Structure formats: C-alpha cells, structure tokens
Structure 1
C-alpha cells in the first residue's frame, strides 16, 4: 500500500511553486528589508515563511468553514489581498519602504511578506481545492503535507540568501530593484482586483463563464 502519492505531490508542489513564486519574492524581500541588519533579515525570512505557511495550512484545514461562517466569498478575499498589495506597491514606488520596516523586522514579515504575498488568496484557494480533491485519502494528504514542507523550504531559502544578491548589486542596484518590484507588485495587485471583479460578474451572470 502506498503511503505517499508522488504524482499528486508533484502536482501540488508545482502549482504552489508557480503561485507563490519563491524566486520572485527576492526583489520584494530585498526592497522591504534593505534597511535591516543581516540578523534581522534572516529573522524576517523565517517569520515570513512561518506566517505564510500558517495561513495556507490554516485555510487548508478550516478555510471553507471560516469563509462560510463569516459569509466571505473567495472573490472578496482576493479583492482585499489586491488592495493590500497595491498599498505596499505605492509605498515602494514612492521610496517609503523604510517606513514599513519595523526595528525588529517583524512587521514586514507578517504583512505583506507572510500574507498576502506568500500566504495569499491564490495559494489559499489552490490548497483548499487540493484538499477537496484528496477526499481524505492518506497518500494524497501525505503528498499535500510534503509539498507544503518543500514550498516552505524554498520560501525561506530564497529570502534568506537574498542578502548575497544585495551585496552583489550594491546600493544603486537595490534601489533599482525596489522600484521595479513596486511596478511588479502594482501589476499583480491590479490583476488580483480584476480577477475578483471578473468572478463576481460571472456569478451575477453579467458575463459568460470563460
């Protein structure tokens, strides 16, 4: 009897890797932590990873109950995440990223790194769907657990060693990356807003389902 569904594990891992995009967090992490010392940056990476996984696992287990109990739809969750990311993006574009970094490096690790960047609507919805597909089957549940652990390791590794990249780029390079990450984050946030509105319009029958 198989104790682990490897095929299902790979499907979960690849899906979450594309959604969370650990390499893509490097410029954003650098932008939000460039005023921190190496120790603070390492702690922020660890806290962000822990928070992101806590959010994802929490919704995997209790997500449907939470949303139903609070009368929250998935598009509403996605819209809220998009607004939050847009606010962060505007601060990055305005050069105010230093104001977001708390002295102990915890604040930016919680928001926006932990959530909604790592533990965001996309990852939450994907994991909830995979849990439904698993249907309580042991090998598939084990595959989800292993995939989540692998994603957590990837998250931490890419953020933990972003300092090496920062030293290579220098102050000017980090500033450039900060502005670019602001543009990318703004685009991601606007796309999240568009997707949430599109889902609502489909639900209301204003537009046809694609």
Structure 2
C-alpha cells in the first residue's frame, strides 16, 4: 500500500536539500544570455542528470557501500554532518555560487551534479531506499524522488516567472527556512546513526 507519510517525508527532505527556490537564481546566472528555448532545454537536462545520478545510487548504493566496507550507521553520521554543513551555509548565506562558463554544458556540471545531485541528496536517497519496507514503501520513496525532480525541472523551467513573483527577498526567506529544517533533519540523522552504533548495528 502506498505510504503517503513516507512519500511526504522523503519529498520534504529532498526539497530542503535540493532547494528549488534557491536554485532558480543560480540557474538564471549560469544560463544568462542564452535563448529562452535553450534555457528551457537546459532546465530539463539538469533535472534529468540529477535524477540519473540519484537513481544510480538509490539502486546500487548498498552494493557500493558494501564494497568499500562502510556501514549504514557510519553513512548516517557522515551524511548528517554533511547536511549540517549545508544547512549552515543556507542559514548564513555563505554558499558559493558558481560562475558561468561557455566551455561546459552547465546543465550537466555544475547544475545536474553537484548542485542538485549532491552528496546530501545521495546519502538521503540511499538511506530512504534502505529503510523502505515492502513494495509500498519502495513505491512511495521512488514516487517522491520522481516528484522532486519534476518540481526541480519546473522550477528552473519557470525560473524567470518565479523570481518575478517572490523577488530576491522571497528566495532568501525560503532559503533560510530550508536551512532551519535541514539542520533539524541533520541532527536527527546523526542521532539515529549514533544510536545504531551504540546498539551494535554498525
């Protein structure tokens, strides 16, 4: 059975990490000067690249971890610390915005990866897939992943309209709120990993 609570949890976590409102001004900066048709194509290219990377780690993440002998609790703690760093950047506004380059397809790098499909999103997806119970849980997780990438594609696709509506102040506000939520998620993930270590599961 489809788990709406799990769907919402995974979707919210990825929304906070990938930050569609926050990525729109970066997308505009990286694609400025290009025709609107090219910008729209690059928006979906970036979302597709991110989805491909996330899907790869969602399917093969456990095998990769087993190969390098890394346990899930260790990944939870490391991922939590990484998310906390990202959250601090969101809260303080110190995250660096990449500059445009004409020699690289920015829809692939840096937009698709590592801005969208970054370590934080990868870790969260691996853990969500690992902890999903049965077909219903897996369906809920993957539906959230697909929905999140659709939102990302649409956010970048209509970035000009979004910026016109919420203005720069709105982007800053949403980014700060996302940082607060992400910091709480990070602390919870670290605590969960430490708890599993104490219980001997790591």
Q: TM-score, normalised by structure 2?
A: 0.66
Structure 1 residue aligned with 2:26, among 23, 32, 41? 32
CA shift, 1:164, in A, is 1.0
Map residues 136-155 of structure 1 onto 2, 5 A cutoff.
Answer: 148-155=145-152
Separation in structure 2 between the aligned mates of residue 122 and residue 200 of structure 1, nearest angstrom: 13
Q: 1:20 aligns with which of 5, 11, 14?
A: 14
Structure 1 residue aligned with 2:160: 163
Q: CA 1:11/1:112 → structure 2, altered by over 3 Å: closer, same or farther?
A: same
Query: Do the aligned partners of residues 96 and 14 (structure 1) sit closer, same or farther apart at CA in structure 2, a change above 3 Å counting?
Result: closer
RMSD: 3.8
Does residue 75 of structure 2 align to residue 74 of structure 1?
Answer: yes
Q: Which has the larger radius of gyration?
A: 1
Q: Could you say which residue in structure 1 is the equivalent of 2:125?
A: 123
Match of 2:177 among 181, 184, 189: 184
Larger RCO, structure (CA 8 Å, separation 6 or more): 2
Equivalent of 1:107 in 83, 94, 110: 110
Once the two structures are superposed, what CA deviation does each residue of 1:149-178 show, in whole Å capped at 9, x if it has no partner? 454333312332122121334xxx22x234
TM-score between both structures, scaled by the size of structure 1:
0.64
Quick check: 1:102–1:108 contact (8 Å CA) kept in 2?
no
- Gaps in structure 2 of 5+ consecutive residues: none
Aligned to 2:60: 62
Measured in 2, the distance between the counterparts of 1:196 and 1:18 equals 15
Partner of 2:49 in structure 1? 51
